[in-house]
Structure 1
Amino acid sequence: MKTDLVVEGVIMNNNKTLLIHHRKLNIWVPAGGHIDENEVPDDALLREIKEETQLDVEIINNCQLLPEGNTRRNLAVPFHSNLHSVGDHDHCCFFYLCKALNPENLKINKESIDYKWISKEEVDNDFIPAEIKKILKKAFEEYEKIKSNSSSIL
């Protein structure tokens, strides 16, 4: 079976996260999309979020090593990854925590029907798929850990 590499960003703003109602899949998911050929996950994530939401984001990266030797740059570490089916093929998906830099610019594109900012307490709403609920709960846990360890990142 064909497998595509994809990224999704759990975008945080004022202790809420953004979900978009994906038109093709007809489910509520974090913003994201396919990693293009010769593209690294970080760049794909920033590009896809900008295309889908018009938002600029900062990837919240808990690993802050400095590049050395032949390392051009260090990439963000996803807080979760999975392999899931999207019908006729699979997605190998990397999930990242992000911080919205310009939430007032939010405007969804034609790939989405609607959007919602949801709090940790709203994650169990019926409109959110079970697998996304688990990922969002983990994202909120990671976000709280990072927030308590360093207010400068957020």
Structure 2
Amino acid sequence: MRTMVASGEVDGPDQPFRRRLIELLEGVEPWDEQERTHLATAAEWIASGAQLYRVLKPDVPMTHLVCYFVVLDEAREEVLLVSHRKAGLWLPGGGHVEPMEDPWDAVVRECAEELRVPAVPSRVSGRKPFFLTVTRTRGQGQHTDVSLWYVLRSTASDVTSFDEGEFEAIKWLSVRHVLAEPADTLDPHMHRFTGKLMAAMARA
């Protein structure tokens, strides 16, 4: 049995993990009003005591925690996108967070599985999430992904293979080129993420 507490957190055996997630959300500086709304929605969901992890593919529970990792070539200002077979879109790499798994550990695991390279934190955000989205998926088994977006550092010469079972192809695009791509071929928040990334790179 879980109960709400005054701090907005949840009392229960997984309270430390939920508190950790809320701290991560508090560290994300909203890019726009939509991200501000998504952050509030995600914090409320985490504090509600709802199941956070996918326990049965593709849509049980209807909302679950996901990590994206955007691989950035900092010198060339290019990002790596993958053509995801099931989604039919060009996306960052990523996957579902396992029960009680720290989101950064999920990034490390998924990066090794999908791109066969270590997860190296970028100078933009280090090991902290840079962006957050709440997205209703499309197609069969529709559900809602609460996604923490991380930025990693690598180069095209480092990434020499990928998980061909999950991805049809991968490609490097300049951040400006990403903004020129049709929105309906990308994750629905990819343009917004790229705008935030460009601003952060300019500050850095």
Compute the TM-score of the two structures, normalised by the length of structure 1: 0.77
Given that residues 125 and 150 in structure 2 are in contact (C-alpha distance below 8 angstroms), is that contact kept between their aligned partners in structure 1?
no
Cα 1:129/1:39, change in 2 over 3 Å: closer
Q: 1:33 aligns with which of 66, 88, 95?
A: 95
- Can you list the C-alpha shifts for 1:67-102, whole angstroms capped at 9, x where unaligned? xxxxxxxxx321110110114211000011111278
Structure-2 residue corresponding to 1:71 = none
Structure-2 residue corresponding to 1:125 = 181
Structure-1 residue corresponding to 2:5 = none
Specify which structure has the higher proportion of helix: 2
The unaligned stretches of length 5 or more in structure 1 are 65-75, 149-154
Structure-1 residue corresponding to 2:69 = 9
How far apart are the structure 1 equivalents of 2:114 and 2:145? 18
Larger CA deviation: 98-107 vs 44-53: 98-107
Cα 1:97/1:105, change in 2 over 3 Å: closer
Given that residues 60 and 97 in structure 1 are in contact (C-alpha distance below 8 angstroms), is that contact kept between their aligned partners in structure 2?
yes
The number of equivalent residue pairs is 135
Q: 1:139 aligns with which of 168, 192, 197?
A: 197
Return the offset for 1:140: 2.8
Structure-1 residue corresponding to 2:29 = none
Larger CA deviation: 101-110 vs 22-31: 101-110
Q: 1:114 aligns with which of 141, 166, 169?
A: 169
3-state secondary structure, aligned to 2:200 = helix
Structure-2 residue corresponding to 1:80 = 131
Return the offset for 1:129: 4.5
What residue identity is the alignment partner of 2:194?
A: L
Return the offset for 1:59: 2.0
The unaligned stretches of length 5 or more in structure 2 are 1-60
Larger RCO: 1 or 2 (CA < 8 Å, sep 6+): 1
Given that residues 55 and 101 in structure 1 are in contact (C-alpha distance below 8 angstroms), is that contact kept between their aligned partners in structure 2?
no
Give identity over the alignment, percent.
24
After TM superposition, the runs of 4+ consecutive aligned structure 1 residues lying more than 4 A away are 61-64
Larger CA deviation: 128-137 vs 46-55: 128-137
How far apart are the structure 2 equivalents of 1:131 and 1:48? 20
Cα 1:135/1:99, change in 2 over 3 Å: same
Structure ID, larger Rg = 2
Structure-2 residue corresponding to 1:50 = 112
Compute the RMSD of aligned alpha carbons: 2.2
Compute the TM-score of the two structures, normalised by the length of structure 2: 0.59
Specify which structure has the higher proportion of strand: 1
